[in-house]
Structure 1
Amino acid sequence: MLKDAYQSAEEFAKSHYENFPVISITLPKEAKKHIAVVYQFARQADDLADEGIVNPEKRIQNLELYEKRFSDCLCGQFITDFWMALKNTINECNLSTQYFYDLISAFKQDVFTTRYQSYTQLLDYCKRSANPVGRIVVEICGVRSEEAFLHSDSICTALQLTNFYQDVSVDWQKGRIYLPQDEMEKFGVTENLFDEKQNNANFKSLLKFQLERTRELFVDGRKLLPFLPSSLLVQIKMTMLGGEKILDKIEAIDYGVIETRPKLSKVDYLQIFAKGLLTNAR
């Protein structure tokens, strides 16, 4: 049963589009299955929060039920083999269970919170929506260092922010804006701009500022590399390269994310994979 559950988790991970490979061929088999089942946990919860045809109250109920099933699995009660595999991963890798609860907390917040007044508020969301995943992956690979965790946080926050900029048009259709309200005001950007799809000078300046700050997070994230075992090193490099490539693409379309959602091509993936393999220096 466990073997089938892990295989199903790996297939689940491969079937979902991301800006980076969730599980690459460079990972050892054991780490691959554990990362896949953690990804499935996070993605399923995210999907529950993002079910557009379901009213917000029902989405919260679904997330609370998901949280209960997670708590049950920690007590050895499994409604499906997926939960059994997740508990096995938590036990084998000695994972911090609070990170899983943090993820669910962020997804609950996503149901009702559609604006963020400041960058600080946005970072608090990232602290629970993205950073726990990185910390879990680092734990799976046997790293237990607070300094490593902090650099991992920089990578995950940068990836989350990058996804926000990439999905400006998608999120607007869902009634969400992940650009800090105070910074929108500072740069003279109003919400009317999104409806009118105006990629004007003010919006370009705002997004340019966001991208520059996010690139600094990726730079700090590279300090994680010396802490990593070789089995995880290429995976993390490719993850960062994927995020940075999206930032490049946003710049290439002159910050026109209100009308266009940039995404990676097959050629981009091949280049990222090759660069991740060839740049072996930590």
Structure 2
Amino acid sequence: MNPEQYVQDKAAASGSSFYYAFLFLPKPRRAAITAFYAFCREVDDVVDEVSDPGVAATKLAWWRTEVAQSFAAGTPRHPVMQALMPHAAAYGIEARQLNEVIDGCQMDLEQTRYLDFPGLARYCHLVAGVVGEVAARIFGQTDPQTTAYAHKLGLALQLTNILRDVGEDTLRGRIYLPVNELQKFDVKAHEILNRVHSDRFIALMKFQSERAHAAYDEALALLPLADRRAQKPGLMMASIYRTLLREIERDNFQVLNQRVSLTPVRKFWLAWKVQALGRI
């Protein structure tokens, strides 16, 4: 299997909504974003699939070495980096950005709670904002202001992920909802770990979803008109994830015992609507 097929299979197998946004890109940009997304999946899987934190840390350290060697010596070993590096110069992909994504994954090994939203926002920036920054360049960014849009959209998408995955994250002992906000709504950590769906929990989740909606609105307001066409893949993601957020709300935040999701057909339709009609 060649590197290009490896990253294609990695992206398709994930079932992520990102895959649908990639479909509408020209081939060179699609190849670049697919390779970058596969990199993000690889390092994220280290944290989610390796049960021993020490082994996971060693694997992340290996990825840091692989990034350094790929950029400094031009000799990538992993098929993901072999697929990504031919696009690095053309789209301004930097070692710093890949290392920041690894830094975000490292945070998952070192903490399972966040005291307040600024701490959570830092995590979101590393695992999603930086991803948005790289993606915006690959999509065809021309205005520097688009980077601020990409960071804010990454925050909105990650906040939606956090709401969707509250129940799944408890299986790994992680609660991404800020501690001081749990206290504000009188929701105990043990209630989330034990999947207690209360009126207090619903109120807490409404607060979180309102923050996510605000982040989507702020992101769209930051996107320069000159880059709106080029950044359609990001707008597709906003449409898909915001629809998912509304489904979670309609389901009264039943996220402790199930994972709310959209069908592949619906994701494709939402992506097509942005592509064809420019509407989200």
TM range (shorter): over 0.9
Residue 63 (structure 2) aligned to one of 66, 86, 105: 66
CA deviation after TM superposition for structure 1 residue 279, in Å? 2.9
| Matched pairs, number | 278
Q: 1:34 and 2:32 equivalent?
A: yes
CA deviation after TM superposition for structure 1 residue 243, in Å? 0.9
- State TM-score, norm by structure 1: 0.92
The 3 A distance-change label for structure 1 pair 260 and 81 is closer
- For 1:1-282, what aligned pairs fall within 5 Å after superposition? 4-21=2-19, 23-53=21-51, 55-74=52-71, 75-223=73-221, 224=223, 226-228=225-227, 230-233=229-232, 235-280=233-278
Q: Report the Cα distance in structure 1 between the residues aligned to 2:174 and 2:13, rounded to whole angstroms.
A: 26
Q: Report the Cα distance in structure 1 between the residues aligned to 2:58 and 2:46, rounded to whole angstroms.
A: 10
Q: Report the Cα distance in structure 2 between the residues aligned to 1:279 and 1:225, rounded to whole angstroms.
A: 18
The answer to which of 133-142 and 35-44 deviates more is 133-142
Q: Report the Cα distance in structure 1 between the residues aligned to 2:69 and 2:122, rounded to whole angstroms.
A: 27
Q: Is the 8 A contact 1:10 1:37 kept in 2?
A: yes
The 3 A distance-change label for structure 1 pair 270 and 26 is closer
The 3 A distance-change label for structure 1 pair 101 and 169 is same
Q: Is the 8 A contact 2:167 2:259 kept in 1?
A: yes
Q: Percent identity?
A: 25
- State TM-score, norm by structure 2: 0.92
Q: Report the Cα distance in structure 1 between the residues aligned to 2:20 and 2:99, rounded to whole angstroms.
A: 21
Helix, strand or coil: the match of 1:178? coil
Helix, strand or coil: the match of 2:22? coil
The answer to which of 235-244 and 216-225 deviates more is 216-225
The 3 A distance-change label for structure 1 pair 67 and 145 is same
CA displacement, residues 155-188 of structure 1 (integer Å, 9 cap, x when unaligned): 1111111101100000001000000000000000
CA deviation after TM superposition for structure 1 residue 225, in Å? 5.9
CA deviation after TM superposition for structure 1 residue 27, in Å? 0.5
CA displacement, residues 60-93 of structure 1 (integer Å, 9 cap, x when unaligned): 0110011101111112122244323322111222
Helix, strand or coil: the match of 2:49? coil
The 3 A distance-change label for structure 1 pair 85 and 279 is same
Q: Is the 8 A contact 1:148 1:227 kept in 2?
A: no
The 3 A distance-change label for structure 1 pair 67 and 239 is same
Q: Is the 8 A contact 1:23 1:36 kept in 2?
A: no
Structure 1 alignment gaps of length 5 or more? none
The 3 A distance-change label for structure 1 pair 274 and 252 is same
Helix, strand or coil: the match of 2:12? helix
CA displacement, residues 252-274 of structure 1 (integer Å, 9 cap, x when unaligned): 11112112210111342243134
Q: Is the 8 A contact 2:7 2:79 kept in 1?
A: no
Q: Report the Cα distance in structure 1 between the residues aligned to 2:116 and 2:175, rounded to whole angstroms.
A: 12
Structure 2 alignment gaps of length 5 or more? none
CA deviation after TM superposition for structure 1 residue 249, in Å? 1.3
CA deviation after TM superposition for structure 1 residue 213, in Å? 0.9
CA displacement, residues 89-135 of structure 1 (integer Å, 9 cap, x when unaligned): 11222223211110011111111210000000000111111111111
Q: Report the Cα distance in structure 2 between the residues aligned to 1:209 and 1:19, rounded to whole angstroms.
A: 24
CA displacement, residues 27-64 of structure 1 (integer Å, 9 cap, x when unaligned): 000100000000111110001122243x1111101100
